[in-house]
Structure 1
C-alpha cells in the first residue's frame, strides 16, 4: 500500500505541476488564464506532464548529488514566497465583507452541509499528506533517527502556521465565489490573483511553478527510494531489477526510471477521462491513510503492552505517545471511509469515485502475492537492520 500510494503521489504532484504550465479539461493553466478562447485538449496537458517527468527523471537520475543544494534553494524560496502572495492579496485584491467569509456556506454537490464538509475535506487532506517523504530518504540522511522525525514535525508545523495566514488572506480576497469556481483556468487562486493584479499574476505563478517542480523532484526521489527499499527487502516483484544501485552514482536508477514511467502512464488516462485520474488521486489518499493506520496501530499495540516493547529511539513521543497514536489511528480510519465518496450525489459512471474498487483490486493482488511468494522471502526491515 505504501508503494502504491507513493507512486500515485509522484504522479499526482507532477500532474498538478503540469496543469499550471498548461491545461487539461477542467484543469488549470496560465494559457487559459490570459486566453479564455484557447481550446484545451487532454493530450496537451499530458505532453506537458511528460516534459516535467523527463526533467524530474534527469535531476533524480543524473544529478542526485545536487539534490540537497536544490532543495535548500527551494526551501528559501518557499519560506519567503508566501509573503508576496499575502501582500498582494491584502493590498490589491477586492475584499468581501467578513460575514461572507465566516457565515455564508454553500455546497457544490452534497447536502446537508455537514455531509458536504466531510466529503470536501479530501482536497484539504491532499495538501497535508506526504510529509513522511523524509522517512523514505532516511538511508541517505546523516543521523536519520533524529533528523528525519525533526524534519517531519517542524515542516508540518511551519506549513500549518503559514498555511493559516495564507488561507485567511485568500478567503478575504475572493469577491465572487461563483466567478472564481467558473474561471477558465480551473484554479480559483489564479482568478483571485488576476483580480488583484492582472499581469502581476505571472511572476507569482512562475514562483509557484518552481516550488511545485521542486516538490515533484522530491516526490519522485521519495517514491523511488521507497520502491527500491521494499524491492531490496524482497517485498515486490522484479526485485533484483528494482533494487539495483548504480555503482558510480549510488542511485537506484531503475526505481527512478520506473517511477517516471508510471507517472507518465497514469497521465495518459487524462486523454480519455479526467475523472479516472481524479480517482487515482483518491487512490493515493486511501492507500496512504491505510498505510498510516496500519503502522500506527502496530506501534500503539506495542505501547499498550509496555513502552519496553518498542525499540530504543533518539526521538520519541514519550508519555504522549499513546494519546497521539490513538487519535491518529481513529482519524486515519475515519478518513479512509470518506475519501472513497464521489464528488456529486447523483452518481454516474463519469462521476463515480473509482478509487475504492481499484484499491480493493490491488489489495487483493497484494494478499495473493504475499501468500504465494512474499511470506516465504520477506523478513522486514527491522530484521535486516538488527542483522
Structure 2
C-alpha cells in the first residue's frame, strides 16, 4: 500500500493522516462509534478539576495518617513534595491529553506509546484505571457519611455509630449526584462554577475562624516537630513516607477532568489548562490550610484520640469551644464530599462508557449506549452506581473489608498514571519525530518533567500500601496491595478468557481523530 497523505476534515481545520494510518484504523473496524455532545468550556472544567480534588477539604478528611506518622513535619513538607511530584505527573498527563483528549485517557495513551505489547498492556491498563475509579466513587459518600456520624457522636454522646447507618448515608449521598447527572446534565456547567465558588469562598471563612479563635503552637513545633512515637513504626524514613498519605490523597485524582474530554469544547487546550490550574489552585490552598491548621490545632493528643474518628472535628471544637460552631465549620467539608461525588460519578461513568465503547467489558455493546434523550452514557452511569452500592453493602458485614476496597483507590490511580508516562518518555527519547504533538506541550522540559513524575509516582506507589500503625491487625491492615493484586489478576483472567480474542486497542479511527480535532478548535 502506498503510504501517502490524505486530508481529512478539509478546510480551516484540515488534518492530514497517512493511508497506512487510515488502513490500520479501518482494519480494526471502528465505525460510527457512539459520541457525546460537546457543551463544556474551560471555566466549568477548571471548576470541575478544582472541586473534584477538593484538596483542602480532602486534607481535613485524611489528617489522621499524617498526624500519626511524622506529625507537622510530614504534613507540611509532605505537601511541598506532593505538590511538586503531582504537578509533574499532571503536566505529563496534560501533554498526552492535548495529543489525544479522550474519555479512556490512560489506556488510549498506553496503546499509542507502548514500545511492545500495546494490545495487552492497554487492556490491563484499562481495567486498572476503571477499577481504581470505581473504588473512588465510594470514597466521597463514605467520608461524608462517617463524618456525619462523627458529628452525631460529638453532639450526642449517647449516640453509637452503626455500620448500617453509615451504609444508608452512603446510599443517600450517592443517589443525589446520580439523579442530577441524569436529569440536570445541562446544569453541569453552572453547578461546577457554583461549586467552585463555594470551594474557594468557604476557604477564607474557615481559615479566619481558625486563626482568630485557635490557640497558638510555636514556629518550632509547626516547622520542626517530628512525631515518631504514635504509630508503632520505628524507622523515621518509613514514618515520614507513610505520613505522606495525607498529602498524596488530597492531591490525587487529577485525571478526573480528562475523562470528561469528549464533552469539552476545544479539548486539546481546555483540558490540559484546567488540569494544571486546578491542581495548582488546590495545592496552594491545601498547603496554606495545613500550615494554619497546625498553628491553631490545640492539643495534639486530643485530636488523635477523638471519639468522632476524625481529628478535624475535635480540632474545630478545640478552636471554637462550641459544638455548634464546630458542626458549622464542617459543613463546607461535607458539601465538598457531595459535589466531588457528583463530579466523580460523571467522570467515572464516561470512563466506563469509553472502555465499553472500545470492547473492554463483557456485554460492551450494551454499556456503550448513549441515551438520545439524556445525551449521557446512561447504562454506564447505572453500572457505576450499582457497583458503588454493592461496595457499600460490604460495610454491613465488615468495615475492614469495606476499607480494603477503598484502600485500592489511591494506589491503583497512581499505578495508572505511571504506565503511560513511562511509555511516552521512552517514545520521546527514542522516536520523538513519531509523536503527533497537540497544541499544549512541554517542549524541552518534557524529559525532566517525565523523569521527576516517574520517580515521584514510584516512590508514592511503594509506600501507599503500608499500614498506618504497627502491630498490624485485621482492622488496621492496609489492604491496598492485595486488593490491587486481585484486580490485576481479574484483568489478566479476562484477557486470556475473552480480551485477547476481541480487544484490538482503542476504537478511534483516523477519521475520528480528525473530526475530534476539528471540533475542538474554535
Task: Please state whether the residue corresponding to 1:343 is helix, strand or coil.
Answer: coil
1:72 alignment partner in structure 2: 193
Alignment pair present for 1:307 and 2:432:
yes
* Counterparts of residues 1-387 of structure 1 (less than 5 Å): 1-21=128-148, 23=149, 29-107=150-228, 108-109=230-231, 110-197=233-320, 198=322, 199-381=324-506, 383-384=508-509, 386=511
TM-score normalised to structure 2 length = 0.70
Ranked by relative contact order (alpha carbons within 8 Å, sequence separation 6 or more), the top structure is 2
1:26 alignment partner in structure 2: none
Looking at structure 1, the residues matched to 140 and 200 of structure 2 have their Cα atoms a distance apart, in angstroms, of 19
Whether the aligned pair in 1 keeps the contact of 2:466 and 2:478 (CA below 8 Å) is yes
Whether the aligned pair in 1 keeps the contact of 2:353 and 2:380 (CA below 8 Å) is yes
Looking at structure 1, the residues matched to 382 and 509 of structure 2 have their Cα atoms a distance apart, in angstroms, of 26
Whether the aligned pair in 1 keeps the contact of 2:357 and 2:507 (CA below 8 Å) is no
Whether the aligned pair in 2 keeps the contact of 1:11 and 1:262 (CA below 8 Å) is no
Whether the aligned pair in 1 keeps the contact of 2:259 and 2:347 (CA below 8 Å) is yes
Looking at structure 2, the residues matched to 329 and 237 of structure 1 have their Cα atoms a distance apart, in angstroms, of 33
Task: Give structure 2 stretches of 5+ with no counterpart.
Answer: 1-127, 513-522
Task: Please state whether the residue corresponding to 2:407 is helix, strand or coil.
Answer: helix
Whether the aligned pair in 1 keeps the contact of 2:353 and 2:377 (CA below 8 Å) is yes
Residues 323-344 of structure 1 deviation map (CA, whole Å, 9 limit, x = unaligned): 1111111222222221122222
Once the 2 structures are TM-superposed, how far is the Cα of residue 211 of structure 1 from its aligned partner? 2.2
Residues 96-119 of structure 1 deviation map (CA, whole Å, 9 limit, x = unaligned): 222222232223321122211112
Whether the aligned pair in 2 keeps the contact of 1:14 and 1:263 (CA below 8 Å) is no
Task: Please state whether the residue corresponding to 2:470 is helix, strand or coil.
Answer: coil
Looking at structure 2, the residues matched to 150 and 382 of structure 1 have their Cα atoms a distance apart, in angstroms, of 26
Looking at structure 1, the residues matched to 409 and 453 of structure 2 have their Cα atoms a distance apart, in angstroms, of 18
Task: Please state whether the residue corresponding to 1:137 is helix, strand or coil.
Answer: helix
Between structure 1 and structure 2, the one with the greater Rg is: 2
Residues 56-104 of structure 1 deviation map (CA, whole Å, 9 limit, x = unaligned): 1111122122111111101011111110111000001111222222232
Task: Please state whether the residue corresponding to 1:246 is helix, strand or coil.
Answer: coil
Once the 2 structures are TM-superposed, how far is the Cα of residue 203 of structure 1 from its aligned partner? 2.8
Task: Please state whether the residue corresponding to 1:200 is helix, strand or coil.
Answer: helix
Looking at structure 2, the residues matched to 85 and 179 of structure 1 have their Cα atoms a distance apart, in angstroms, of 20
Whether the aligned pair in 2 keeps the contact of 1:85 and 1:204 (CA below 8 Å) is yes
Once the 2 structures are TM-superposed, how far is the Cα of residue 385 of structure 1 from its aligned partner? 5.2
Whether the aligned pair in 1 keeps the contact of 2:297 and 2:319 (CA below 8 Å) is no
Whether the aligned pair in 2 keeps the contact of 1:138 and 1:148 (CA below 8 Å) is yes
Once the 2 structures are TM-superposed, how far is the Cα of residue 164 of structure 1 from its aligned partner? 1.5
Looking at structure 1, the residues matched to 384 and 461 of structure 2 have their Cα atoms a distance apart, in angstroms, of 25
Looking at structure 1, the residues matched to 361 and 456 of structure 2 have their Cα atoms a distance apart, in angstroms, of 29
Range with greater deviation from structure 2 (112-121 or 318-327) = 112-121
TM-score normalised to structure 1 length = 0.94
- The number of residues matched between the two structures is 381
Range with greater deviation from structure 2 (344-353 or 223-232) = 344-353
Q: Which runs of 4+ in 1 moved over 4 A?
A: none
Whether the aligned pair in 1 keeps the contact of 2:308 and 2:314 (CA below 8 Å) is yes
Looking at structure 2, the residues matched to 307 and 79 of structure 1 have their Cα atoms a distance apart, in angstroms, of 40
C-alpha change, 1:371 and 1:385, in structure 2 (3 Å) is farther
Whether the aligned pair in 1 keeps the contact of 2:368 and 2:377 (CA below 8 Å) is yes
Once the 2 structures are TM-superposed, how far is the Cα of residue 38 of structure 1 from its aligned partner? 1.3
Whether the aligned pair in 2 keeps the contact of 1:106 and 1:113 (CA below 8 Å) is no
Looking at structure 1, the residues matched to 510 and 312 of structure 2 have their Cα atoms a distance apart, in angstroms, of 46
Once the 2 structures are TM-superposed, how far is the Cα of residue 382 of structure 1 from its aligned partner? 7.0
Looking at structure 2, the residues matched to 95 and 84 of structure 1 have their Cα atoms a distance apart, in angstroms, of 19
Whether the aligned pair in 2 keeps the contact of 1:95 and 1:173 (CA below 8 Å) is yes
Once the 2 structures are TM-superposed, how far is the Cα of residue 229 of structure 1 from its aligned partner? 0.4
Once the 2 structures are TM-superposed, how far is the Cα of residue 383 of structure 1 from its aligned partner? 4.1
